[in-house]
Structure 1
Amino acid sequence: MSHALQGSLFGESEPTALGPLSGARRIELSHGAWVDVLPGWLAGSADLFSRLAAEVPWQAERRKMYDRVVAVPRLLSFYPEHAPLPHPILDEARAALSAHYAGELGEPFRTAGLCYYRDGRDSVAWHGDNLGRGSTEDTMVAILSVGTQRHLALRPRGGGESHRYPLGHGDLIVMGGSCQRTWEHAIPKTTRAVGPRISIQFRPKGVR
C-alpha cells in the first residue's frame, strides 16, 4: 500500500516558512496506533536542507552487530533538551508541534534527532522508537523531512500489511498512540538513483 505525499517543489526561491498544522490528515492504523501526514508543511525546504547539510556536526557512527562492528548507514546528530537547534525554523517547528498536540500528548516535544541519508544506500532498519518511556507508554514522534523524497515504511510489529509514505520537500509525518510499541518503521535501501534527504525527529523527553 502506498500513500503518496505530494510535497512542495524543491526550489531555492521560496522563503522558508511553516504552514498550518490544521491540514494534517490522520490515518488510523491498528492497536491504537495512528499517523498524521501533512505534505509540504515547510515551504522553502531547499534552503533548510542546504544549511543543515553544511552546518550540522554530522557523526558517522559504528555499532556492533552480532560478531562484528559495522558502519551505521547514515549520518547522525542529536540535540538534547535545552540544546540550541541548528536553524531557527526548527525551534518554530518544535513549538508549533508542541502547541498543536498539547491536548493529546500532554507535554512538549523536547529533543531533536537528525539523520542524513546521503543516497539510496543509506537506510535505517525496522525498529520502533521504544527505548525509555516509548516501550510502555503511548507517545508521539514527529518527523520533518527535507531534500529528496525517500519512503518511510510502516508495518505492524509481528507482521502484516505494510504502508509506505514518500517523505521529503518539507513533508511532515507524526506517529502517535501506540505506534512505537505496536508498529515498526524503516527507511529501506533503494537501487534507484536518489538524492540526499535529511529527517528531523522531534520527541518528548525520555523517548528515543
Structure 2
Amino acid sequence: MSTPFQGSLLDGFDDVHLETLDRIRRTPLSGGAWVDVLPNWLSGADTLFERLVDEVPWQAERRPMYDRVVDVPRLLHFYEENRALPDPILDDARDALSSHYRRELGEPFETAGLCYYRDGRDSVAWHGDTSGRGATHDTMVAILSVGAPRALLLRPRGGGESLRYAVGHGDLLVMGGSCQRTWEHAVPKTRKPAGPRISIQFRPRNVR
C-alpha cells in the first residue's frame, strides 16, 4: 500500500547539509560483523529526496527467477566509479564517509547504487553484497536513506533472529567487517501504509 510522501517535521527543507559523524554508534554482531547507525545524518533530506526523484534516470529491471522473468520490485540506478553523482551533497557524503572510515577500510568509497522504493510493494529480498570482493573479504557498505522510513532487517546468514532498523529522512547505516559474508539484509514488503524511500549505497571498488 502506498501513501503520499510526507516530510519529517524535524527536517529542514531548504538547507541540505551533513551533520558530523561523531555521534555514530556501533553494534557488534556475530562472526566479526558490525553495524554503525547515525539517525538524521543528513539535514534537509526530504529536499534531496525530491531532487533525486526528478533528476536520477531511474531504471525498471527484469530478472530471471526460477522458470520465469519477473520485474525487480524497485527502481534502480548505479553510478560507477568516476561517474558524476546526481547531486553535490552525495559527493560530500561519499568524501565524509571515506575520510571517517579510512583507517578501517583502507580505501575510499567509489560507487553509489540508488534504489527507489515507491511504496510498500517495493522490496529487496534477503541477500549480502557478495558480487566481487565482498564474497571473500571484509568490506563496508554505507547506506544513506532519504524519504519515508522503511524497515531494513539484518539476520545471520542461514537464518536466525533478525535486527530491525527503520531508516529514512537522512539516516545513515553502515555494515562492516564480515557483514556481507556472514549476515544478510533485506527491505521486506509491507501491507501497512508506506511512503516512498530512496536508498543510496556507497561501496568501495569491486563490491556489489
Distance 1:59 1:178 in 2: 30
Structure 1 residues 74-130: Cα deviation after superposition (integer angstroms, max 9, x where no partner): 000000000000000000000000000000000000000000000000000000001
Structure 1 residues 129-156: Cα deviation after superposition (integer angstroms, max 9, x where no partner): 0111000000000000000000000000
Deviation at 1:14, TM superposition (A): 4.5
Map 1:70-149; keep pairs closer than 5 Å: 70-149=70-149
Do structure 1's residue 151 and structure 2's residue 187 form an aligned pair? no
Contact 1:9 1:169 in 2 (8 A): no
Distance 1:62 1:10 in 2: 37
Which stretch of structure 1 is more off in the superposition, 11-20 or 162-171? 11-20
Distance 1:187 1:114 in 2: 14
Ranges in structure 2 where 5+ consecutive residues have no aligned partner: 1-7
Tell me the equivalent position of 1:161: 161
Look up the equivalent residue of 1:41 and give its one-letter code. Answer: W
Distance 1:21 1:13 in 2: 21
Which stretch of structure 1 is more off in the superposition, 138-147 or 157-166? 157-166
Distance 2:34 2:14 in 1: 31
Tell me the equivalent position of 1:204: 204
Ranges in structure 1 where 5+ consecutive residues have no aligned partner: 1-7
Contact 2:13 2:45 in 1 (8 A): no
Distance 1:14 1:186 in 2: 32
Do structure 1's residue 53 and structure 2's residue 53 form an aligned pair? yes
> Counterpart of 1:73 in 2: which secondary structure?
strand
Distance 1:24 1:143 in 2: 13
Contact 1:10 1:45 in 2 (8 A): no
Do structure 1's residue 64 and structure 2's residue 71 form an aligned pair? no
> Counterpart of 1:60 in 2: which secondary structure?
strand
Q: How many residues align?
A: 202
Tell me the equivalent position of 2:3: none
Deviation at 1:11, TM superposition (A): 4.2
Distance 1:165 1:9 in 2: 20
Do structure 1's residue 170 and structure 2's residue 170 form an aligned pair? yes
Distance 1:138 1:54 in 2: 35
Distance 2:179 2:91 in 1: 25
TM superposition score normalised by structure 2: 0.95
Look up the equivalent residue of 2:100 and give its one-letter code. Answer: H
